[in-house]
Structure 1
Amino acid sequence: MEQATTILVAESDPANLEMIARPLEEANYEVVRAASGAQALGELKHTPSRFGAAILQCQLPDMNCMALLKQIKAHPLLKVIPLIVQGERNNEQAMVEALRTGAHSYLDKPVESTLLLAVIQTAVKDYLYHRRLQEEIELRQSRLNTMQAGHFRISTLDEATDLGSLIASAYPESGMIVVGLTELLINAIEHGTLEIGYQGKSELLATGQWLEEIQRRQASTQYADRYVDVVFQRLPGEIRLNIKDQGKGFDWRPYMDIRPERIFDTHGRGIAIARQISFDELEYRGCGNEVEVANF
């Protein structure tokens, strides 16, 4: 798989552009510079798979970056690229609007280089993971586009990833479906059946103990027999998928969008990503241990 270490930087001010580009190049990223929204969009469309992330100035000469965000997110080959908006300090309204429009992160001007590199590293890591899922779908020898219904049961992260690829192959837009679907299935295992909370995962990731804790819980008598049920239905004009775990549920509402207070966290974007790029409809039910998605 091509290592997408090229970063697009759309910035109209030459001095600000170099303040962003220089630390990226010193960290061995290739930087493509764009002075306008039209130029940025043209570069991205020319070679979509080249870019691991894009940094967009909030106000470009020819368009507001929110308009550029919407155009990128509407493009079938570009919408998976993490977009990082850079705007004026303490402009919470712009930050919230950018995140709701689909930005991966929002950075205040001027940005400190250590923070910039940390955000880019997380964004590129997310992108490469999603690219890998998409490429696995493309390499499948057979597709399930004739499947009308199916009931599946999973209990491990590996099974979640495998089932995500399998079911996604039943959709016309399998490459985008697999990204959000895998996120939802992993959430159901990780936060549902194994009951690892958001803060708990943050601490486990910070100490490098996340995978060890997953394995420990799956082997314990408390969680070993738990599973996630997945029901697929192809109906006239739509495909529906229901995912239900055996956990206690959670308050899903803060995770339907990327929130400012979690903007620099290394996880917690899965549900928002599923809403933004994979499914036309996403609804959690009851206590939060069941989610239904639909594509029309």
Structure 2
Amino acid sequence: MKPYQVLLIEDEEIIAGFIEHTLAKEDIQVVLMPNAESAWTYLQDNPCQTDVILLDRQLPGMDGIEFLQRLKQDTALQRIPVIIETAASDQESIQQGIDAGAYYYLVKPLQRELLIPIINEAASQYREFCTLQETLNETSQALQLMSHAEFTLRTLPEARLLTNALSQIYPEPKKVATGLLELLVNAVEHGNLNISYEEKTLLLMSRQWHEEVEKRLRDPKYKERRVHVSYRKESNRIVLTITDDGNGFNWEPYLEIQPDRVFHLHGRGIAMARRISFDTIDYQGNGNRVVAMVQLG
């Protein structure tokens, strides 16, 4: 696999040197820019090279928040995950970053044990998003004639396969694909495989998440569980219902990106699906069923 590339926007030489040295030991490539203006020029010239942006909030000239706002307005660049490094950990500053589109936060002084897994997770998610986009093409337009369908899946590769097909039925496939995949992955890992929020945090930190998922898929306790997907196209909307065989979860805290979870490695998928991909997301019962709707016309 091609090494991840991080665009580091940092004007302090000592901090930049620490980050470059730390990431180099993990075979992560770093492109260093001392200010937001030069970083913006680099992105315009190399729009497909960067997997993650590590952005200092306080920069000379254009500051980090202004840069982030500009990035999110560019359709070619807006999906690149941005990790803000900041000395400001107050709620107001964090909320400002969230509103501007930050996906991750790191508080200075940076800690290696947090820096590496956060960058790996962000880059992995972005690579997965890019792979999904490459598979979306016009050859599947016949699927748009489908008015209703039922699907059953068990594994994460099956979730990705169904995402590739179903997202093409929607008016904006790329917009829906990311959120749909998040909901299906959530149904597999948290629903059917009963991986808790805390367990996933530890698994990501130790880089054992994929191994644990495969282990539980083979476990007799979980191997018969399935995710059931119902698709229904009406005159003015598309309704997707996803039901897993798990025990449900407390879904309400995850509908929004909460400031107290900005420093976590995960936990944003449902909120991002609700904010970007679907017009409404409605969890029902004990949380093992979600109805996602997109308005037509």
CA shift in 2, pair 1:19/1:202, >3 Å? closer
Change (3 A) 1:214 1:70: farther
Does the C-alpha gap of structure 1 residues 127 and 73 become closer, same or farther in structure 2, counting only changes over 3 Å?
A: same
Please give the secondary structure, in 2, of the residue aligned with 1:169.
helix
8 Å contact from structure 2 (residues 132, 177) kept in 1? yes
Moved more, 199-208 or 235-244: 199-208
> What residue in structure 1 maps to residue 140 of structure 2?
142
Q: How does 1:151-170 map to 2 (within 5 A)?
A: 151-157=149-155, 158-170=157-169
CA contact (8 A) 1:180 1:278 kept: yes
Structure 1 letter corresponding to 2:30: E
8 Å CA contact 2:282–2:291 kept in 1: the answer is: yes
- Identical counterparts, % of pairs: 32
Deviations 1:73-124 (A, max 9, x none): 3433323211011111533432243245432211122324554333222222
Distance 2:183 2:63 in 1: 32
Cα distance change of structure 1 residues 63 and 190 upon mapping to structure 2, 3 Å threshold: same
1:81 maps to what in 2?
A: 80
Q: Which residue of 2 aligns with 1:199?
A: 198
Sort the Cα spacing of 1:112 and 1:132 in 2 relative to 1 into closer, same or farther, 3 A. same
Question: Do the aligned residues in 2 keep the contact of 1:180 with 1:273 (CA within 8 Å)?
Answer: yes
> Are 2:117 and 2:265, in contact at CA under 8 Å, matched by a contact in 1?
no
Deviation at 1:182, TM superposition (A): 1.2
Aligned partner of 1:215 in structure 2 is 217
- Whether the aligned pair in 2 keeps the contact of 1:231 and 1:241 (CA below 8 Å) is yes
The C-alpha deviation readout for 1:8-60, integer Å capped at 9, x for no partner, is 22234555544544544564413141512x44334334332210100122133
Show the counterpart of 2:289: 290
Give the conservation status (yes or no) of the 8 Å contact 1:134–1:176.
no
Which residue pairs with 1:271 in the alignment?
A: 270
Distance in structure 1 (CA, Å) of the matches to 2:77 and 2:112: 26
Q: Using the alignment, how far apart are the partners of 1:99 and 1:169 within structure 2?
A: 29
Are the structure 2 counterparts of residues 254 and 135 from structure 1 closer, same or farther at C-alpha, using a change threshold of 3 Å?
same
Whether the 8 Å CA contact 2:6–2:28 is kept in 1: the answer is no
Q: Evaluate the alpha carbon distance shift between residue 117 and residue 198 of structure 1 in structure 2; reply closer, same or farther with a 3 A threshold.
A: closer
TM-score where L is the length of structure 2:
0.80
Match of 2:29 in 1: 29
Please list the CA deviations of residues 147-166 of structure 1 after superposition, one character each: whole Å capped at 9, or x if unmatched.
Answer: 34222232301332211111
Task: Report SS of the residue matched to 1:48.
Answer: coil
Separation in 2, partners of 1:243, 1:67: 38
Tell which deviates more after alignment, 10-19 or 96-105. Answer: 10-19
Matches within 5 A, 1:232-251: 232-236=231-235, 238-251=237-250
8 Å contact kept, 2:52–2:81:
yes
RMSD: 3.1
Matches within 5 A, 1:183-194: 183-194=182-193
Structure 2 matches for 1:165-176, cutoff 5 A? Answer: 165-176=164-175
Q: 1:28 to 1:290 in 2, by over 3 A?
A: closer
Cα distance in structure 1, aligned partners of 2:68 and 2:280: 21
Task: For residue 51 of structure 1, give the secondary structure of its aligned residue in structure 2.
Answer: coil
Change beyond 3 A, Cα 1:202–1:90: closer
**Cα distance change on mapping 1:275 and 1:10 into 2, 3 Å:** farther
